[in-house]
């Protein structure tokens, strides 16, 4: 879906349903596989990600677009924060700032360092971790404000979990999603409240 179509759709949701808290942009992953696919550099993917945010914000200014920082090494992410700043976007003032390209490596020391440096060095206390699960959040959950994952649904399918309302299939069960969320909140700790988006 191109930027105009996505902006129109998100704008329609905002107008007709309201209460839209956040909408993702067309960010460009910086994983080795993504770079191999596009044959572009991390820097180019970062430029295209900033361009996507600016374009969508111009097309649908009433939509709460979430700027996303991308990279591979911790310094890449800090560089991306600077690119946003040069484009006139102060990420510390945004409601949320997405962090991309960490979901598949979230249990690594590098991913933990990325989140630490964005939180401490870039002073971003409004981070949203895309695809975060137990393995990552147990290590760096303190550094993010919110996270999203479909891991709970996959776990319900894999384990064959069932409740009284959904015998044998809780992959779309609100109770199980909330149960999973409570487990994550205990894991992260009571020092801060973590908002979980499991849709």
**Mean pLDDT of all residues in the chain?**
86
pLDDT of residue 199: 39
- Dump pLDDT digits (tens) for 110-132: 999 999 999 999 999 999 999 88
Report the phi/psi class of residue 101: left, alpha or beta, with left for phi > 0 and alpha for psi in -120 to 50.
left
- Dump pLDDT digits (tens) for 46-76: 999 999 999 999 999 999 999 999 999 999 9
pLDDT of residue 92: 97
pLDDT band for 77, please (50, 70, 90 cuts).
very high
pLDDT of residue 148: 77
Please state, in angstroms and rounded to a whole number, the distance separating the CA atoms of residues 108 and 123.
Answer: 22
The tokens for 21 are 């808290």
Please state, in angstroms and rounded to a whole number, the distance separating the CA atoms of residues 188 and 192.
Answer: 8
pLDDT of residue 151: 63
Q: Flag whether pLDDT at 193 surpasses 70.
A: no
- Dump pLDDT digits (tens) for 129-179: 998 887 788 889 899 998 776 666 666 666 666 666 766 666 677 777 777
CB 80 within 8 A of CB 97: no
Entry pTM: 0.82
Q: SS3 for 117-148, per residue?
A: HHHHCCCCCCEEEECCCHHHHHHHHHHCCEEE
CB 171 within 8 A of CB 146: no
Chain centre distance of CA 97 = 8
Please state, in angstroms and rounded to a whole number, the distance separating the CA atoms of residues 171 and 157.
Answer: 6
- Residues written for the chain: 199
């Amino acid at each position: 879906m191109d930027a105009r179509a996505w902006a129109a759709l998100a704008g329609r949701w905002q107008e007709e349903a309201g209460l839209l808290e956040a909408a993702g942009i067309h960010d460009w992953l910086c994983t080795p596989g993504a770079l191999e696919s596009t044959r572009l550099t991390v820097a180019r993917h970062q430029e295209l990600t900033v361009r996507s945010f600016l374009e969508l914000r111009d097309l649908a200014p009433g939509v709460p677009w979430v700027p996303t920082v991308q990279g591979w090494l911790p310094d890449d992410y800090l560089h991306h924060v600077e690119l946003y700043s040069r484009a006139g976007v102060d990420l510390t003032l945004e409601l949320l700032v997405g962090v991309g390209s960490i979901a598949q490596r979230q249990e690594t020391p590098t991913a933990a360092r990325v989140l630490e440096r964005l939180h401490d060095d870039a002073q971003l206390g409004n981070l949203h971790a895309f695809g975060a699960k137990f393995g990552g959040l147990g290590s760096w959950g303190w550094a993010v404000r919110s996270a999203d994952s479909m891991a709970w649904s996959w776990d319900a399918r894999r384990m064959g979990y069932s409740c009284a309302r959904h015998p044998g299939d809780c992959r779309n069960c609100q109770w199980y999603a909330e149960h999973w969320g409570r487990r994550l909140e205990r894991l992260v700790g009571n020092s801060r409240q973590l908002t979980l988006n499991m849709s």
